[in-house]
Chain A
């Protein structure tokens, strides 16, 4: 019983972190991604990405608690954050085009 209680506590703590830190990371990655790949002029790409980023964070935070397990939540949220962030920051020529 003690063991399961402790596992549950760890799982909740992990989900809380996934929602706060992971969720922000996902919002950050998506903002970077959209700021580069939206088919708009640079100021509009950045402005629209900024307007959407909080919705991404909310969805990420909800998923952190809705996911089947804390590990799964971290894998999906962290993976997407990393993927979108890399796609945003790596193409140096493309990302600063006007």
Chain B
């Protein structure tokens, strides 16, 4: 077997198996380009401009008063343009975690919702914590292998750039589409798959810490990131110095740069440290410069200096996270992410079209999985947004209600696709109509449920974050309906224009 043939087999099967998982990861990552805009869209309390009253001091006091008494660490982030609220997270010594989003105007917790964060978390750990993080990492490795083997089997990478024959027979057209989206998006997909697995390198590849630090995690993290850590001393903490004063001091030292996350380590112990991280959206990677203060005296203990290759790591993580360059960069990431979804979808369609006529085992399964995942996830995501708008804000279980709506909607589409696998064109058409109606309905529903956030209210205000989400929903709805209308429910098989070559035979 030649190298190209063996790589073709690897590309076909190593690409097919993780297809549906990769689609979930790429789709949610694409949505997460605008997770912060979606977060605000899902929190109508933040739709009108309100002046920030809650200070860092107030946010800390809220945690000290409302969290468990056994606090190990607090993470807080103040309001900024895209996220106009206080986010506070905490962890107890027993390892229990809590979080709240505080309204900057009133200081009270915002109404429960999963928020845009839901898609981001689904993207990197499938809401399955450590296990999910490893599964996503393995999927990333499969993607890298599929991308590289895809290039090796590609004879005419330049020519395929300009080749799309939508009227050719099904397999040829899907292969063209797979090649087009794969080739156009290739540098981006390679970069994002690689930087994606790099994010959790400390978990995925512990060899460096084990060999060079004798498996001492604390020493490893502190030295590699150039950060500061102080052990607990077991005495109660004296009264803390004002956090707002520390923030002013930090901004003065950074000559004006804004603070990002504030971390308070063991706030109830005399060794408490306040670490203030720098937020700089003009740079790709985190530049470091985190300032660590003694929580009681306000004395500056340490200024973070990233070692050069940790800075390279930060840069790669920054490239993945797309928090630089503003809306333009995020919109570009969104388009290339959609190209990634299209590449994955077209890839499984090539596999299917090649085998449909021969009744190969697995065709029905692949077809059912296609419907269940490729259409189930968008339907479930839209259903989640509907639940957000329909469930009253006061409801204590609003967030879990949204989650259950997502799960049930997805299961329903999956079941539908499995049952209708022999009438899959009809099912596909109905599911596209469903996506169209759900997407078009949301901006209308907002007219009733989000009095300050719907299009007619946000547009005159020039609130492009909210307007953008609604316009995207309208566009998705229209495209889905047009596709449903164009989809031929009863196609006449067209004869192949030419005999497939040997390489295509191997695919």
Contacts and interface: CB of A to CB of B under 8 A. Distances in A.
A54 B7 CA distance: 19
B410 interface: no
Given A28-B205, A43-B223, A54 B307 contact: no
B197 A54 contact: yes
Contact of A48 (B6, B194, B209, B312): B312
Contacts of B309: 40, 43-44, 47-48, 51
B241 interface: no
Contacts of B149: 62, 65
B212 A54 contact: no
A28 B210 CA distance: 11
B254 to A, nearest CB: 23
B208 interface: yes
A31 B307 contact: no
A45 B308 CA distance: 10
B310 A35 contact: no
A32 B194 CA distance: 20
Nearest to B225: A43
A88 interface: yes
B307 A96 contact: no
Nearest to B144: A58
Contacts of B208: 31-32, 35, 45-47, 49-50
Contacts of A50: 198, 201-202, 205, 208, 313
Interface in A51-72: 51, 53-55, 57-58, 61-62, 65-66
Contacts of B10: 62, 65
Interface in A74-89: 88-89
A61 B205 contact: no
Contacts of B210: 32
B228 interface: no
A27 B197 CA distance: 13
A62 B3 CA distance: 10
Nearest to B208: A46
Contact of B307 (A32, A41, A65): A41
B224 interface: yes
A18 interface: no
A36 B212 CA distance: 7
B316 interface: yes
B148 A53 contact: no
Given A42-B223, A96-B213, A31 B207 contact: yes
B145 A62 contact: yes
B214 interface: yes
Interface string B190-219: 000010011001101101111111100000
Contacts of B7: 62, 65-66
Contacts of B211: 31-32, 35-36, 88-89, 95
A65 B205 contact: no
A42 B141 CA distance: 27
A58 to B, nearest CB: 5
Contacts of A32: 207-208, 210-211
Nearest to A56: B205
Nearest to B9: A65
A27 B206 CA distance: 11
Contacts of B212: 35-36, 42, 45-46, 95-96
B79 interface: no
A42 B148 CA distance: 31
A60 to B, nearest CB: 10
Given A35-B212, A66-B6, A88 B312 contact: no
A41 B141 CA distance: 29
B201 A53 contact: yes
A33 B326 CA distance: 40
A96 B6 CA distance: 42
B451 interface: no
A72 to B, nearest CB: 13
B416 interface: no
B226 interface: yes
Interface string B418-445: 0000000000000000000000000000
A59 to B, nearest CB: 9
Interface string B160-187: 0000000000000000000000000000
Most buried by B among A36, A45, A61, A65: A65
B220 interface: yes
A78 to B, nearest CB: 16
A46 to B, nearest CB: 4
Interchain residue pairs A-B with the least CB separation, the first 8:
A46-B208, A47-B309, A31-B207, A35-B208, A43-B307, A50-B201, A44-B309, A32-B211
Interface of B: 3, 6-7, 9-10, 141, 144-145, 148-149, 152, 194, 197-198, 201-202, 204-205, 207-214, 220, 223-224, 226, 307-310, 312-313, 316
Interface of A: 19, 27-29, 31-32, 35-36, 40-51, 53-55, 57-58, 61-62, 65-66, 88-89, 95-96
7 contacts: A31-B208, A35-B208, A36-B212, A43-B224, A50-B208, A65-B9, A96-B213
Given A65-B9, A88-B211, 12 more contacts: A27-B205, A29-B207, A42-B212, A43-B224, A47-B307, A47-B310, A47-B312, A48-B312, A53-B207, A62-B149, A65-B6, A96-B214
